[in-house]
Amino acid sequence: MMAKELFPEAQELRKGRIRIETIKDKVTEIIKKLKENGYGHFVMLSCVDWIKEGKFELVYQMWSYEYREHVMISIKIAREGDSMVTLRDLFPQIETYEREIHEMFGVNFVGNPRLGEFILEGWPHMPPMRKDFDTEKFVKELYYKIPEVKEE
């Protein structure tokens, strides 16, 4: 069954692109249902920082080879003090995406044992992909301030 039949609230962005806005608690169920109905390829898990609303948007994206349709399941969680449950049992690659989002945005995924250092090493500051992290200021205050080697 196609996503539109399963979830009437789904919105069609263009041909072959479906977007479902939902809440945190329903995601597992929706992804499970889609997986059973031919949406077998988990494309990616993405995170968008909507700093003005104070929310992170998690976008779970799936694709059906059968119907040639791409579904984006989108949820919003609070930027601070909120968490999401891990879905690594459904698709193994979700684990890697969760590790990256944990490191780059600071979203906590409850139940994922491999969260921790993944791409960066010894990063002491705020997660760098957050909108309030100013990379230009950071660079000017670190790399450009490191002194050149003085020769006598």
Partner 1 sequence: MKPIEKEYELFIGPNHPGATGNMSYHIWVEGDKVKKAETRVGYLHRGFEKLMEKRIWMQNVPLVCRICVPEPDVNEASYSMAVEDLMGWEIPERAKYIRTIILEMARISAHLLTVGGIAASLGIYTAAQWGVGDRDYLLDVFEQITGARVYHIYIWPGGVRWDVPKNTKELLTKVLDYLEKRMPLYEDLIIKNKVFIRRAADVGVIPKDKAIEWGVTGPNLRAAGYQLDFRKLEPYAAYDKIDFEVPYYPKLGEYEVLSDGSDIYTRTAIRMLEMQQSINIIRQALKDMPEGDVLLKHPQWFAWKVPAGYSYVRVESSKGEFGYFVVSDGGKKPVRVHVRGPSYTHGINVMETIAKGLNVADFAPTAISLDVCPPDIER
Partner 2 sequence: MTLNHDDWGKVARMMSKRSLWMVHFCTGCGAMEMPPVMTSRYDMERFGMHAMATPRQADVFLVTGYLAVKTLKRVVQVYEQMRDPKYVIGFGSCTINGGMYWDSYNTIKDLSKYIPVDVYIAGCMPRPEAIIDSFLKLMDMIDKGEAIGWKKYHKYYDQYKKNQRMAYAYRLDEVEDIKEDDAK
Which x/- pattern, by CB under 8 A, does the window 20-39 give for partner 1?
Answer: --------------------
144 binds partner 2 (CB under 8 A): yes
Residue 106 gets the label, from left (phi > 0), alpha (psi -120 to 50) or beta, of left
Residue with Cβ nearer partner 2 (8 or 122)? 122
Per CB under 8 A, contacts with partner 2 among 94-123 are: 120-123
**If contact means CB under 5 to 8 A according to the sort of partner, which of partner 1, partner 2, none does residue 113 touch?**
none
Backbone angles phi, psi at 139, to 5 degrees: -65, -45
What is the distance in angstroms between the CA of the first residue and the CA of the last residue of the chain?
A: 76
**If contact means CB under 5 to 8 A according to the sort of partner, which of partner 2, partner 1, none does residue 67 touch?**
none
Residue with Cβ nearer partner 1 (78 or 152)? 78
CA distance 96 to 44: 10
DSSP string, 82-93: -EEE--TTT-TH
CA distance 43 to 99: 16
Residues engaged in binding partner 1 (CB under 8 A): 13-14, 16-17, 19, 40-44, 46-50, 59, 61, 65, 68, 70, 72, 91-93, 95-96, 118-121, 128-129, 131, 133, 135-136
